[in-house]
Structure 1
Amino acid sequence: MPEPWRTGVFTRIEQETHNTRRFWIQIPEVEEFVFKPGQFVTLDLPIHEQKNKRWRSYSIASPPDGNTIELVIVLLEGGAGTHYLFNHVQVGTEVLLRGPQGVFTLPPVIDRDLFFISTGTGIAPFRSMLHYIKKHQIPHQQIYCIFGTRTQKDILYYEEMKQLEREIPGLHYIPTLSREQWEGRMGYVHAIYEELAADRKPAHFYLCGWRAMINEARQRIAQMGYERQYIHFELFD
C-alpha cells in the first residue's frame, strides 16, 4: 500500500546558498512522521492539471524527529516545480505530500566502510543519515562523505558538516570544488573515492545527485571490483 497523501504546512524557509533554499514542512495530522534516513517525499504542487505532472520528489535532509521535515532544494532554470517553491511558497502555505518512499537507506548493520558520494543537493539524504548515526550512536566503520560542487559559495551545510566530522568518530568530510581553487580538495568526486578505496576494502557506496555523476561513478566503482549489491544510488533527473 502506498503511503497516503497528507497536508503539510511550510513553517520556515531559509536561503542556504545563492540558488538553494531550505524548506521546513510540518505534517500536523501526525505526531511523528516516521521514515528511514535516506528516504524521500513527493510533493503535489499546483503547477499542472495532470496529477503526475505536478509531482516532485525530494530527499529528506533532516533526521527523523517529530512531525517536521526539512528539504533542501535548488532552483532549476525553467523548472516549474522549483519556480513555484521559490516564488509562491511562504510560511503558512499548505502542500500535499506523500511519503516516506524509497529504499536508499542504511544497511541494518554497518559492518563495512561507507562512502557517501554526492553532488549539489544530493547531500540531503547523507545529512539525515549522519545526524541519525550520531544521535543513536549507531556502530559503524569509517565514513567518507565526499561532496562535489563548483565553488565555495555552492557548498551546502559546510559548517554543520565540519561539526559532524568532529563529533562522529571515523567520519571524513571531503568537499571538493571543480571550478575554484581553495585550501581543500579540487577536481571531481571520482578521483577521491578511487584513491580512498584503492585497497579494495569492504565498503558500501551510496551515490546521490545528478545522473551523469551517478552513471560514471557506478561504472568506475564496478571496474574497481565492487559488486553491484554494494552500490546504492538515488538520482536526479
Structure 2
Amino acid sequence: MRTAKLLRSRILAPGVRELTFDPGPDFEFEAGQWISCRIPATYGEDLARSYSLASAPRADGTFDLAVTRVDEGPGSTYLHSLDLGAEVTISRAQGFFTMDEFERPAIMIATGTGISPFRAMLQALDAQGAFPYPVCLLLGVRTEKDILYGDEFEALARQRNLDFSVTLSQPSQWSGRRGYVQTHLPELVGRFQGQCDVYICGLSKMVKDVRRILKEELGLTKHQIHSERYD
C-alpha cells in the first residue's frame, strides 16, 4: 500500500468526477488494470473499493480515476468529497483486463464509467503511434449529458483507426444509436465476420448478457471475449 495525492479534479458528467492522483515514484501499471482505495470508516474497520485506472501510464507518474457517486456508497461519497491535496491510501495496480496481444480487430463495449479501462487502453495504443487493426468503441449511457470523454474519443477517431459511437437508453433529441449496447452487437461483430476480440466493461448484468449473446447467438469463442465487472 502507498499514499496518492489528489492533484486535480473535474466533473465529467452529472454525478461523475474525474480525479488525478500522484502516487509517488515507481508506481507501475498497465492500461486496463485497477487499484483498490482504502475508504476510512466512520465506525468500525476501514473499507476497500476498487476502481479501474482511466489513463495510460504517463511520464509524470500520475493517473486518473472516473468515479460515479452512488447514493449511500461509502467509496464514491468519500472520493467525491476529497479536496485538492488530500491523500488516499491505494494498493498496487492489479488485474488482467489488458490488451497484451492486439492481433485482430477489437470491439470495446462499455456502460458508464466502464469506459475507464478503454480510455487507458486507447491512450496506450495512441502513444505507440498507430492502431494496427480497427477498433470499435461503443459507450452506452442513459442521456446525452451522461457521455464520458466524448470529445476526446471523437478527436482520437479522426486520427486513428477508431470508430467511436454512443447509444442512449433514454434519448431525447438524438440522431445517434438508441437502446442498450446489446442491441448493436450483431452489427458490430458482423463488420468483421466474427474475426475479432470483444472487450466488455460495466455492471454485471450487462456484462453477463453481452457475453451470452456473443457466445450463443453470434458464435464467438470464450477466447475472443474479455470482460471486467465493477459491481
TM-score by length of 1: 0.91
Identify which of 168, 188, 191 aligns with 1:196: 188
Whole-Å separation in 2 of the counterparts to 1:104 and 1:138: 21
1:42 aligns with 2:36: yes
Of the three residues 110, 117, 130, the one matched with 2:122 is 130
Whether the aligned pair in 2 keeps the contact of 1:116 and 1:144 (CA below 8 Å) is: yes
Kept in 2, the 8 Å contact 1:10–1:93? The answer is yes
Distance 2:220 2:209 in 1: 14
What is the Cα-based RMSD across aligned positions, in Å?
1.3
Q: Distance in 2 between matches of 1:107 and 1:94?
A: 31
Partner of 1:186: 178
Q: Provide the rounded CA distance (Å) in 2 between the counterparts of 1:112 and 1:200.
A: 12
Consecutive unaligned residues of structure 2, counting only runs of 5 or more, are none
Displacement after TM superposition at 1:139 (Å): 4.6
- Kindly provide the CA deviation profile for residues 169-200 of structure 1, in whole angstroms up to 9, marking residues without a partner as x: x2100111010130211111112221121363
Question: 8 Å contact 2:135–2:163 — kept in the other structure?
Answer: yes
Which residue identity lines up with residue 174 of structure 1 in the other structure?
Answer: S
Alignment match of 1:6 (pick from 2, 5, 19)? 2
Counterpart mapping for 1:1-237 below 5 A: 5-28=1-24, 30=25, 32-47=26-41, 49-51=44-46, 54-65=47-58, 66-87=60-81, 89-108=82-101, 110-168=102-160, 170-181=161-172, 182-198=174-190, 200-223=193-216, 224-237=218-231
Displacement after TM superposition at 1:201 (Å): 2.7
2:225 is matched by which residue type in structure 1?
I
Is contact 2:106-2:196 (8 Å) kept? yes
Structure 2 counterpart SS, 1:233: strand
Q: Tell me the alpha carbon deviations over residues 114-166 of structure 1, each in whole angstroms, 9 at most, x when there is no partner.
A: 01100000000001111111111255211010000000010001111100111
Instruction: Give unpaired runs (5+ residues) of structure 1.
Output: none
Q: Match for 1:45: what amino acid?
A: I
**Contact 1:116 1:205 (C-alpha < 8 Å) held by counterparts:** yes
Query: Secondary structure at the residue paired with 2:57?
Result: coil
Are the counterparts in 1 of residues 137 and 165 from structure 2 also a CA contact under 8 Å? yes
The question of whether the paired residues in 2 share the 8 Å contact of 1:33 and 1:64 is answered with no
SS at match of 1:140: coil
**Residue type of the partner of 2:152?**
E
3-state DSSP of counterpart to 2:92: strand
CA distance in 1, matches of 2:175, 2:159: 22
Runs of 4 or more, structure 1, over 2 Å off, are 47-51, 137-140, 198-201
Q: TM-score, normalised by structure 2?
A: 0.94
C-alpha distance in structure 2 between counterparts of 1:192 and 1:174, whole Å: 11
What amino acid is the match of 1:163? A
User: Structure 1: how far apart are the matches of 2:220 and 2:45?
Assistant: 42
Q: How many residues align?
A: 226
